[in-house]
């Protein structure tokens, strides 16, 4: 009576003297290498897609915040970024987290501006440069003024950066007062008032907003100076329908 192996015609590994097992183990690294090459590529692709989504969300939010302020709905940001709301909230669970990510670069720029002003050996000149550049920075992005003056729970990095900037400006202002150039009744709240007023400059053109902001900064500097010298102001911006100089 023939054995089951003989009837099927399929050789058993034992009949091959170990050749079958040997060939299988020899080929295994090749197959595993191919599988690993495919699976290693998948996480990279997923990470790239996730990073691409994150950048699109940040860019869409940056444009909307700059044009309309921070009240833009999250769904509108998702629509502009061409992602679903679930993807948006997976990347940024709260609006505060998104705002912090969007304005991280501007906050660093603001800090650099203040550091440059503090490094000037003439504290009044350094303070004037800070006022001019910060006003222009905020004029270019409406949302940044709101973000800078707001306090969001859980945004430790943003709060620390803002606190550093405020402390540095306070130190610079104190030195300018000691030098007799900044009026003695100046307080930091005056800078907040300046930013609030600067935020109110609206125009369909960013260039016009920046021009108006520079002139506004000129008025502010003269108001802050202990003994105003009435230096010429920057040129006016066309904000009214009347011809310039009609007064």
Domain ranges in the chain are 19-101, 103-224
Pick from 25-29, 105-109, 120-124, 172-176: least confident: 25-29
Sign of torsion, CA 90 94 99 100? Answer: negative
Please give the pLDDT value at position 26: 52
Decide if 19-101 and 103-224 have a common fold. Answer: yes
For 34-51, write each residue's pLDDT tens digit: 545 554 554 544 456 667
The pLDDT assigned to 106 comes to 80
pLDDT digits (tens, 9 = 90+) for 111-143: 899 999 999 999 999 999 999 999 998 888 777
Q: What is the pLDDT of residue 84?
A: 93
Calculate mean pLDDT across residues 51-62. 89
Q: Give the whole-angstrom CA distance, residue 203 versus residue 196.
A: 16
Instruction: Return the CATH class of domain 103-224.
Output: mainly alpha
Q: Distance of CA 21 to CAs 4, 33, 34, 66, Å?
A: 21, 19, 20, 67
Higher-confidence residue of 109 and 161: namely 109
- What confidence tens digit (pLDDT) does each residue in 163-194 have? 888 899 999 999 999 999 999 999 988 988 89
Instruction: Print burial letters for 55-83: b (CB count within 10 Å at least 16), e (below 16).
Output: ebbbebbbbbbbeebbebebeebbebbeb
* CATH number, domain 19-101: 1.10.357.10
């Amino acid at each position: 009576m023939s054995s089951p192996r003989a009837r099927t015609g399929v050789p058993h590994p034992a009949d091959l003297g170990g050749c079958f097992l040997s060939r299988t183990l020899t080929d295994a690294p090749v197959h595993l290498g191919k599988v690993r090459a495919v699976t290693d590529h998948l996480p990279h692709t997923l990470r790239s897609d996730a990073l691409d989504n994150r950048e699109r969300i940040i860019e869409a939010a940056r444009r909307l915040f700059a044009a309309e302020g921070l009240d833009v709905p999250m769904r509108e940001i998702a629509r502009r970024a061409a992602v679903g709301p679930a993807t948006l909230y997976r990347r940024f669970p709260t609006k505060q987290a998104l705002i912090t990510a969007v304005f991280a670069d501007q906050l660093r720029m603001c800090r650099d501006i203040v550091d440059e002003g503090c490094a000037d050996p003439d504290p009044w000149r350094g303070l004037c440069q800070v006022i001019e550049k910060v006003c222009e920075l905020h004029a270019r992005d409406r949302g940044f003024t709101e973000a800078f003056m707001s306090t969001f729970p859980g945004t430790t990095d943003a709060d620390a950066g803002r606190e550093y900037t405020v402390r540095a400006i306070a130190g610079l202002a104190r030195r300018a007062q000691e030098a007799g150039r900044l009026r003695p009744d100046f307080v930091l709240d005056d800078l907040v008032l300046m930013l609030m007023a600067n935020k109110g400059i609206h125009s369909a053109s960013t260039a016009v907003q920046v021009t108006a902001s520079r002139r506004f900064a000129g008025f502010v500097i003269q108001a802050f100076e202990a003994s105003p010298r009435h230096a010429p102001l920057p040129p006016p911006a066309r904000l009214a329908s009347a011809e310039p100089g009609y007064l």
